[in-house]
Structure 1
Amino acid sequence: MMRSLDSFPFPFSSSSSSFTYSFYELCYYAAGVAGNLFAFVLFLSPIPTYKRIIRNKSTEQFSGLPYVYSLLNCLICMWYGLPCVSYGVILVATVNSIGAAFQLVYVSLFIIYADTTRKVKMCGLLIFVVCVFALIIYISLELLDHATRQIFVGYLSIISLISMFASPLSIINLVIKTKSVEFMPFYLSLATFLMSVSFFAYGMLLHDFFIYVAFIRIPTPLFSSKSRILNF
């Protein structure tokens, strides 16, 4: 469903309205596509880590927590982007459906190569994520109308994003102790920042509060700065 001209907070003349609308349509699609591309790079970034895990048949000191948070976040944001919840933001649904598939693979591989204690913990977290997402779907479809549904899922997406991007705090001590960013790569933070800028612009151009608020990544530059400092 496309946004009408009335959704933009400035006047359109009859002679320029079509051109202006096409320009803004192009801008928000370009921002959304850029966000999808940067997100795809972000989803690929753990591959070197998992090559090492598979080669050594051990998860070593790597944490599986960020991948669990990412899975939940992708599922919730995918749900928000679907037409049954929000109109006109399908690019949010597409990128997060791909992201959910990647995160599920990463979590599964982590479980396979983790020790017994961590296997149990990760399996429990995975079951928890599935149950939470199922509950969100049930509440959204059965108990809420469309307008309330968008607000409900929108706020959940913001909360899940905050949780996901706070998860690196669990390995900050390890990074400081080892004086190595191996467990918190700089390029992971960079890809996250670029994706956030793109989707922030996408949300602003669509006047979607839940998108542009969710993609304000204040912690990311801080993590990136810490990574650069520890590299010296």
Structure 2
Amino acid sequence: MAISQAVLATVFGILGNIISFFVCLAPIPTFVRIYKRKSSEGYQSIPYVISLFSAMLWMYYAMIKKDAMMLITINSFAFVIQIVYISLYFFYAPKKEKTLTVKFVLFVDVLGFGAIFVLTYFLVHANKRVHVLGYICMVFALSVFVAPLGIIRKVIKTKSAEFMPFGLSFFLTLSAVMWFFYGLLLKDMNIALPNVLGFIFGVLQMILFLIYKKPGTKVLEPPGIKLQDISEHVVDVVRLSTMVCNSQMRTLVPQDSADMEATIDIDEKIRGDIEKIKDDKEAFLISKN
């Protein structure tokens, strides 16, 4: 008995939802840390703002398309969880970061999405609306999928994969496969095409991880830079699929050689000062006796 394309699409959509659901929860340890320390600790809100925009955009597309329920379910969850993340971040962030967060939300999620909604809903004919909106979603997804090039370049340059988690790359690649077949079975290239790029970059990241992984070594974290920087979130924003939330996994940023040399010089100076103090103390005790 042959299985219909609709049934297969539903199966791949459910699998994509399951994987994307758990990856959407990946930032929870970050926010537990923020909650315990009552501080945003230098983390950035931009990735969550972009993820919220992505969820809104793909929900709108799925509602106009009408036969992509799997997109609505995961993006509805992504929409809610990103609002929770942004709210928690806003509550514990310093005043300057709160102001920036409000500006990003207004500019990207309110004005950006609002402009797309007005243009496509009121100025585009109903028969062409889904196609125009689909192109917008695809261009947005493709532009974000290019982000891993920065991480890949850094891995090759530093010959270290310590800041590129293998597990994250694996699940993002697996997610891209699920959503690719979901879009393919729906004959929707707006969903399928960006995930081809996501699969390629995901496999490339895993290969680079295996090549440059150095067991037992750590990449030092430079002062003032947290584990989660801009690249981390833009790398994985919308990488779960063409529509899902970003993975918000924290990445390590390696120090460059100049920083390392400066750190070594400081350490040597401190050691020298300690030795001098010890010598002075011993000389004082000898003279006293």
TM-score by length of 2: 0.63
1:87 Cα deviation from its structure 2 partner? 3.2
Deviations, residues 145-188 of structure 1 (Å, cap 9, x unaligned):
23321122112212332344455778889996x9743xx64433
Distance, in Å, in 1 between the alignment partners of 2:87 and 2:151 is 21
Distance, in Å, in 2 between the alignment partners of 1:60 and 1:224 is 29
Matching residue's letter, 1:187: G
Tell me the residue number matched to 2:89: 110
Contact 2:161/2:209 (<8 A) preserved: no
Tell me the residue number matched to 1:5: none
Tell me the residue number matched to 1:203: 183
Distance, in Å, in 1 between the alignment partners of 2:82 and 2:91 is 14
2:36 aligned to 51, 55, 58, which one?
55
Tell me the residue number matched to 1:71: 52
1:161 equivalenced with 2:177 (yes/no):
no
TM-score by length of 1: 0.77
- What is the aligned-residue RMSD (CA, Å)? 2.8
Distance, in Å, in 2 between the alignment partners of 1:65 and 1:171 is 18
Tell me the residue number matched to 1:7: none
Tell me the residue number matched to 2:74: 95
Distance, in Å, in 2 between the alignment partners of 1:108 and 1:74 is 16
SS of alignment partner, residue 215 of structure 1: helix
Tell me the residue number matched to 1:15: none
Q: Which runs of 5+ in 1 are unaligned?
A: 1-18
Distance, in Å, in 2 between the alignment partners of 1:122 and 1:171 is 25
2:99 aligned to 120, 130, 140, which one?
120
1:138 equivalenced with 2:138 (yes/no):
no
Q: Which runs of 5+ in 2 are unaligned?
A: 216-289
Distance, in Å, in 2 between the alignment partners of 1:163 and 1:109 is 28
1:230 Cα deviation from its structure 2 partner? 5.0
- Structure whose CA Rg is larger: 2
Q: Compare 53-62 and 218-227 and name the one that shifted more.
A: 218-227
In structure 2, do the counterparts of structure 1 residues 48 and 90 end up closer, same or farther at CA, with 3 Å as the change threshold? same
SS of alignment partner, residue 210 of structure 1: helix
Deviations, residues 63-110 of structure 1 (Å, cap 9, x unaligned):
32221221111111111111xx21311211221111111111112222
Tell me the residue number matched to 1:193: 173
How many pairs were matched up? 209
Tell me the residue number matched to 1:213: 193
Contact 1:63/1:171 (<8 A) preserved: no
Matching residue's letter, 2:66: Y
> Percent sequence identity over matched residues?
30
Q: Compare 218-227 and 167-176 and name the one that shifted more.
A: 167-176
Tell me the residue number matched to 1:31: 12
Matching residue's letter, 1:74: A
Distance, in Å, in 1 between the alignment partners of 2:62 and 2:50 is 18
